[in-house]
Amino acid sequence: MKIVTVVGARPQFVKAAPVSRELRRAHAELLVHTGQHYDDAMSAAFFRDLEMAEPDVNLGVGSGSHGRQTGEMLRRLEPVLLEHQPDGVLVYGDTNSTLAGALAAAKVAYPGGRRPWLAHVEAGLRSFNPAMPEERNRTVADHLADLLLAPTATAMDNLAREGLADRAALVGDVMVDAFAWAAPRARERLHREAAEHPGYVLLTLHRAENVDDPTRLAGWLSALGAAVAPGARAAECAVLFPVHPRTAATLRSADLALPANVLPLDPVGYLEMVALERSARAVATDSGGVQKEAYLAGVPCLTLRGETEWTETLEGGWNRLVGPDAAAIRAALEDAEALDRARPRPEPFGDGHAARRIVAALQDLQRLAGDREVTSA
Ligand code: UD1
Ligand code: UDP
């Protein structure tokens, strides 16, 4: 079986790594990087940390408006599919790279009329917030795909509600596979600032709705700074903040100053991030992946959004939704600190063998596609 995998953004490298490793045992994979993320710290660092093969093709699309970026990916993907004529195309998650990969696969036809099938990993996630670009990307990808690889029972229910149950398979979450692989390797990789600030809160913020407007971003930062270090203890209660380039751009252009206890870091590689998550007192984030990783690490999480796709993390109080309000964040943090960390956490994201199930499901799909070709010949 020959697969083209399309990735482009930081979380997709993490998700693709375990599947790619499993796939390459018995099949041919062509890894196509759209170039959506391109800084060393946003891209190459992940390939190194995750011990992944270099991308076979980099489309070099770079940053741009949604239409330009997605359109350029689609334009550059089509000739790659026509040249390599894979049996199937594999896309991950909900970024513009996901949407472009899904559209390219859905529209291409090889000479003679054969077409690739499309499989979507992390299918069925819904925030029910139609304003999020990611919600549109994942919904379109799900409706185009021939095989929907769902991480959770909730995702399966969402797909069933949209009439997609017959194309869906519950395989578990590949981020569990990646996290389990990384955890022992991350032991030696704790950031110097973390060692110097025990009891830190780890912060990430990158969603467009939180960081593009300088007033909104400043509101989050001052609320978090004040909530974590009320009064004179500011310097002792650090918030370690690896800054996404999107967020860095707003901080720079609006010349925003950070509260004294919020310590900015460059974006860190995956192993350093796993180490930072595991040693944190609490995590505060608007990232989907980081919410889940906090849960897997058994570290309480505050989600800096009005809703989450990963509703399972809310059960048992491991994750709480908060707004940019210092008193509310302080109260949530105190609740989180009171959480009994030793109590068992259910495993709604699976057992860490999602990659194996995904490859098995792809093989089944390939067999079906082959049977259909024989029948129609
Ligand atoms: C994208 C995804 C988002 C995902 C996030 C993961 C979409 C619509 N959004 O958001 O779902 O959660 O990736 O991190 O696909 N930039 C750099 N260097 C880079 C990459 C980006 O400086 O290597 C800057 C550019 O100024 C760019 C901005 O970050 O305009 C935003 O990048 P973009 O890829 O458009 O979206 P993300 O915010 O990263
Ligand atoms: N991550 C990382 N370094 C960072 C921030 C995030 O390695 O500085 C990892 C994180 O551990 C997770 C993934 O990137 O595996 C999440 O990506 P991000 O938060 O950018 O996107 P989202 O999950 O919200 O789509």
pLDDT on residue 58: 98
pLDDT on residue 342: 83
Ligand having the closest approach to the CA of 280: 2
Coil/strand/helix, residue 7: strand
Q: If you take atom 14 of ligand 2, which residue's CA is the nearest one? A: 11
Whole-number Å distance, alpha carbon 206 to ligand 1 midpoint, is 8
**130 Cβ contact list (under 8 Å, min separation 6):** 136
pLDDT on residue 65: 98
Instruction: Enter the pTM of the model.
Output: 0.97
Q: If you take atom 16 of ligand 1, which residue's CA is the nearest one? A: 245
Q: Which atom of ligand 2 is nearest to the CA of 93?
A: 25
Each domain of the chain, given as residue ranges in start order, spans 2-173+351-376, 184-333
Ligand 1 pocket, CB under 6 A: 9-11, 36-39, 42, 63, 94-96, 133-134, 206, 245-246, 249
Whole-number Å distance, alpha carbon 10 to ligand 2 midpoint, is 6
Q: Which atom of ligand 1 is nearest to the CA of 42?
A: 23
Residue 22's closest CA among 353, 271, 270, 365?
353
Ligand 2 and 204: CB distance under 6 A? yes
pLDDT on residue 21: 98
Q: Render pLDDT for 323-332 as a digit per residue (tens, 0 to 9).
A: 999 999 999 9
**What's the rounded Cα separation, in Å, for the pair 197 and 208?**
29
Q: If you take atom 7 of ligand 1, which residue's CA is the nearest one? A: 95
Catalytic residue among 33, 37, 191, 206: 206
**What's the rounded Cα separation, in Å, for the pair 137 and 125?**
11
Q: If you take atom 28 of ligand 1, which residue's CA is the nearest one? A: 246
CATH code that applies to domain 2-173+351-376: 3.40.50.2000
Whole-number Å distance, alpha carbon 219 to ligand 1 midpoint, is 21
The secondary structure element, H or E, covering residue 87 is none
Tokens describing residue 149: 């690889």
- Hey, what CATH topology would domain 184-333 get? Rossmann fold (3.40.50)
**What's the rounded Cα separation, in Å, for the pair 270 and 330?**
28
Coil/strand/helix, residue 283: strand
Whole-number Å distance, alpha carbon 132 to ligand 1 midpoint, is 14
Active site residue 66: no
Residue type, 216: R
Ligand 2 and 14: CB distance under 6 A? yes
Ligand having the closest approach to the CA of 246: 1
Q: How many CA atoms lie within 13 A of 352 on its CB side?
A: 9
Count of other CB atoms within 10 angstroms of residue 307:
12
Ligand having the closest approach to the CA of 94: 1
Cross-strand pairs, 30:
4
Which residues of the chain have a pLDDT value below 50? none
pLDDT on residue 373: 75
pLDDT on residue 340: 85
**What's the rounded Cα separation, in Å, for the pair 195 and 279?**
9
Give the mutation target among 36, 73, 292, 308 for probing the ligand 1 site: most ligand atoms within 8 A of CB: 36
**C-alpha distance from residue 42 to each of 164, 269, 313 (Å):** 33, 8, 26
Q: If you take atom 19 of ligand 2, which residue's CA is the nearest one? A: 287
Do the domains spanning 2-173+351-376 and 184-333 agree at the CATH topology level?
yes
